[in-house]
Structure 1
């Protein structure tokens, strides 16, 4: 079987497309296979050359950068990032050259889901930064200055949260948000209240119907676009700031006059 598999690999070479060899070459690159070993495998027909591998990696990187910018610039994507640690072990570490331990940060872009038909959630509501800056008192030339008779909080609630569930609706004492809190309290009493009152609360289970769903998102496949790893330690406030700035640059947004 081994001879048959090797024969198939050797006979699948082409000057125009070496799909199997390209896949193996990318795998060797990701597994940090020594270059001399990769060159030997390339000469034996089991991998593409080192130059081809490097061109493939650059092509993948360019396409990934384009996807990141295309998604982030819609202002309808979110970032998720976390730290990871790598211990680069050395075969013979010394005091002068110990095994380096690197704490870096990885991130991914998650395009927001609008719910599809018939929900069509208002993702435009996420674009509130420009709206807030247009009304901000710190803006030297606000296009639409704040109403002096209202506080900043009142104006933001009126303009940006017209459909907010933080306020009671007409003729009701509790807001939709408070109603959901009340449902959870009743559910806790029904499920976990000890004796002697527990039996009474459990008898009311049928009366405590499910809470009203607010803009439920249907089950769907979440897409993500991996970002370039950053040699930044995000466990500090300064590190978090540096990570956010780096991600904004990767997404192609921010002040174009800033360096980087």
Structure 2
């Protein structure tokens, strides 16, 4: 970060503190930033080492324009970086629930030691259509779930965007019956440090995953120099990202 960019960053911190009527010295601002950084790092590692974290990362670009006029234009000011997030798994998930990496590998088509005839049949999006089959009880004909949803959306649009006369009926439109409702929970999200990694390549994706796991306190289990390093070899870790590289 250049001197001018650092100055602008500190000025934003000062302006934020001024808005809440706090006026403190530069040393106090530095201490506040270091304290927040340490607190965030501790939160990331506590969550990551619990093995109940889900990781997410994506790329973003920053144009670091030079404040000093140059005789020749340079195209090196555009930086390809990677951002990351960690959030806890909810709904009663335990570490034992995720202890299934061996079973997944045993049933993976990528495993060259497994006979294809022993693998379960391949699934596609069409199988999702049969997770909750419609009732076959023809004694009381009724709309399918899809048609019930379409009907409700039509009524909502009519009452909200149609003639004013229909506005009075919006509160009388019934809710749909839940098939398998997932409870809503308030989820905390912790931002990881931005990474100077271009994840548009396969090697970049690998580096991004390793760096993000390291921020969560998860390192190579063979590295004996790192204390309190969890062994994730038997566990599944969820990582969300755009992994298509085109290579």
Aligned to 2:132: 177
Contact 1:183 / 1:211 at 8 angstroms: preserved in 2? no
Q: Which secondary structure state, in structure 2, belongs to the residue aligned with residue 123 of structure 1?
A: coil
**Alpha-carbon deviation of 1:70?**
0.9
**Alpha-carbon deviation of 1:191?**
7.2
Aligned to 2:124: none
**TM-score, length-scaled by structure 2:** 0.52
**Alpha-carbon deviation of 1:66?**
0.9
Counterpart among 51, 59, 64 of residue 75 in structure 1: 51
Contact 1:104 / 1:233 at 8 angstroms: preserved in 2? yes
Contact 1:90 / 1:99 at 8 angstroms: preserved in 2? no
CA distance in 1 between counterparts of 2:181 and 2:149 reads 22
Counterpart among 86, 94, 101 of residue 109 in structure 1: 86
Unaligned runs of 5+ in 1: 1-27, 34-44, 115-121, 139-145, 155-165, 168-173, 193-208
* Bigger CA radius of gyration: 1
**Segment drifting more, 248-257 vs 62-71:** 248-257
Deviations 1:14-68, CA, capped at 9 Å, x for gaps: xxxxxxxxxxxxxx867255xxxxxxxxxxx85333xx44443333222211100
Aligned to 2:93: 123
Aligned to 2:160: none
Aligned to 1:230: 195
CA distance 1:30–1:184, shift in 2 (3 Å): farther
**Alpha-carbon deviation of 1:109?**
1.0
**Segment drifting more, 88-97 vs 75-84:** 88-97
Q: Does 1:151 align with 2:113?
A: no
Deviations 1:85-124, CA, capped at 9 Å, x for gaps: 111111313437666111111111122332xxxxxxx413
Unaligned runs of 5+ in 2: 1-5, 12-22, 108-113, 122-126, 136-143, 155-174, 227-247
CA distance 1:62–1:30, shift in 2 (3 Å): farther
Q: Which secondary structure state, in structure 1, belongs to the residue aligned with residue 186 of structure 2?
A: coil
Alignment of 1:187-206 (within 5 A): 187=149
Contact 1:90 / 1:98 at 8 angstroms: preserved in 2? no
Q: Does 1:93 align with 2:59?
A: no
Contact 1:83 / 1:103 at 8 angstroms: preserved in 2? yes
Aligned to 1:247: 212
**TM-score, length-scaled by structure 1:** 0.50
Aligned length: 172
| Higher RCO by CA contacts (8 Å cutoff, separation 6 or greater) | 2
CA distance in 2 between counterparts of 1:248 and 1:107 reads 10
Aligned to 1:31: 9
Q: Which secondary structure state, in structure 2, belongs to the residue aligned with residue 153 of structure 1?
A: coil
